[in-house]
Amino acid sequence: MQKLTVVKVGGKIVEDAESLNKLLSDFSKIEGQKILVHGGGKTATTIAEKLGVKTEMVNGRRITNAEMLDVAMMVYGGLINKNIVAKCQAFGLNAIGLTGADLNIIKAVKRPVKDIDYGFAGDVVSVQTEHLSLLLKHDAVPVIAPLTHNGEGLILNTNADTMAAEISKALAPEFECSLVYCFEKPGVLSNPDDDNSVIGRLSHESFKRYQEDETINAGMIPKLDNGFDALRSGVSEVVITNSSSLAQLNDLGTRLTLD
């Protein structure tokens, strides 16, 4: 079975030229097939401000009204995605920039309104792997923006962590699949104020304990929920680390375990 590494990289990394170049240099050296899923929220906020579009956040999540959806499509699917694709080519990666709408890769539904109306935010319902697999087997490197579609002509803004996990789960029957979340910290920390307190191996039981005492909180919780769900669904390994550690996945960062 061929090895596949799905790397999700956060907006803070892709928006900094030096960090992005380092990440892509290391990414290009990963053995086997590769997929890169990216964010880019800060750039979307900056461009929205220039266009006079107000940014509204609730609990760290963006409210995507119609105007913000236009900005997300321009920034995620255009500006950031194509910048990464061009840089990948410079590192010898035959990259192709995609959204979930391209090749019908990822369908989603508009998030139902409960306590909060998130607007045109999408919750993933299916991943179609046939064309992704074909691209991978021809040594293409998909670079996927955090946008999906509903099958009825509507683009939806979708969480990139979730997209990376769902893509990994869908491809796990065909590939020996690793999921890597890259962000600005060296891993999951036992002391949020100490970057040297990386938890090398994190079981689901330990995750729940850290969550209860609020050592792990906020945006890290859905990232870990996605990671453990991926392991339960056949993904071989899940690692959380920073962009500068991508070349040392066996030694650095936090590795999730189900036991």
Domains and CATH numbers, the chain: 3-257 (3.40.1160.10)
Residue 181 binned pLDDT confidence (cut-offs 50, 70, 90): very high
* Residue 59 pLDDT exceeds 80: no
Give pTM, 2 decimals: 0.95
> In sequence order, which residues have a C-beta less than 8 Å from that of residue 123 and are 6 or more positions away?
108, 109, 110, 111, 158
Q: In the prediction, which pLDDT does 13 show?
A: 87
- pLDDT, average across residues 137-150: 97
Q: In the prediction, which pLDDT does 10 show?
A: 86
Q: Are 6 and 177 in contact (CB under 8 A)?
A: yes
* Residue 259 pLDDT exceeds 90: no
Residue 247 binned pLDDT confidence (cut-offs 50, 70, 90): confident
Residue 192 binned pLDDT confidence (cut-offs 50, 70, 90): confident
Distance in Å from the first CA to the final CA of the chain: 25
Residue 41 binned pLDDT confidence (cut-offs 50, 70, 90): confident
At 60-89, the pLDDT tens digits run: 788 999 999 999 999 999 999 999 999 999
Question: Taking the CB of residue 172, how many other CB atoms lie within 10 A of it?
Answer: 21
* Residue 250 pLDDT exceeds 90: no
| Distance separating alpha carbons of residues 165 and 160, to the nearest angstrom | 9
Percent of the chain having pLDDT more than 90?
80
- pLDDT, average across residues 98-122: 96
At 228-237, the pLDDT tens digits run: 999 999 999 9
Q: In the prediction, which pLDDT does 58 show?
A: 83
Residue 184 binned pLDDT confidence (cut-offs 50, 70, 90): confident
* Residue 219 pLDDT exceeds 90: no
* Residue 11 pLDDT exceeds 80: no
Residue 249 binned pLDDT confidence (cut-offs 50, 70, 90): confident
* Residue 40 pLDDT exceeds 90: no
Q: In the prediction, which pLDDT does 217 show?
A: 83
- pLDDT, average across residues 39-62: 89
Q: In the prediction, which pLDDT does 12 show?
A: 83
Q: Are 223 and 37 in contact (CB under 8 A)?
A: no
